[in-house]
Copies of this chain bind each other. A is one copy, B any other.
Amino acid sequence: MSERETPRQDDGHEAELIAAEAIGDVIEHWGFRRVLGRVWTILFIAAEPLPAAVIGERLSLSAGAVSMSLTELQRWGVVRRVFKPGERKEYFEAETDFWKMISKVFDERERLLAESVRARLERAVTMLEARPRLPGAEQRADRVRRLLSFVIVAETALDGFIRSRRVDFSPFGDLIRFPLRVATRKRRA
């Protein structure tokens, strides 16, 4: 950013940066910009509202990048702006209820796509039905209908899944300290 000063993270924040990178990767993997995950994590770990400048320092980001990230995180409802009485500058804090975050993001993110995908697949079915004499058209229409059914089933199922989790965990407060069963995991990068 300026003149080759070692990224100086011997200020007691190495651990946070490691965690921030890890969560940044997760978030990127789920289709967001990595920096959003990093910023959110810094706020989450801090456990108290921080001003934009502090975030920029810890993550070595320009003021502009921090500002944009915070704006976007607020749009997703996972970071809140906090006004401290008697303070000029603004503070930001992380939402801490994970399932609330996830369902909100899910809602926002998927609704439009799901609708547009449904509409387009329906259109494709209609088009294929309109020319039943085209060789294979009926078979192809079948395939597209199947795609459509699957999209709807998956959508409904996922939605139910997220809903049910929210209910499962909220009784424990917004803290999830119990890995319940840590068994058969899966997945990768």
Number of copies: 2
**Are A22 and B121 CB-contacts (below 8 A) given A47-B143, A98-B150?**
yes
Q: Are A111 and B186 in contact (CB under 8 A)?
A: yes
In the A-B complex, list the 10 residue pairs whose CB atoms are closest, starting with the nearest: A110-B187, A113-B189, A111-B188, A112-B188, A22-B120, A15-B127, A112-B189, A19-B124, A15-B124, A159-B186
Which applies to chain A's interface (DSSP): helix, strand, loop or mixed? helix
Q: Encode contact with B along A114-152: 1 for CB under 8 Å, 0 otherwise.
A: 111100110111011001001011011011111101111
Is A82 interfacial (CB-CB < 8 Å)? no
Q: Find A124's partner among B16, B109, B110 (CB 8 Å cutoff).
A: B16
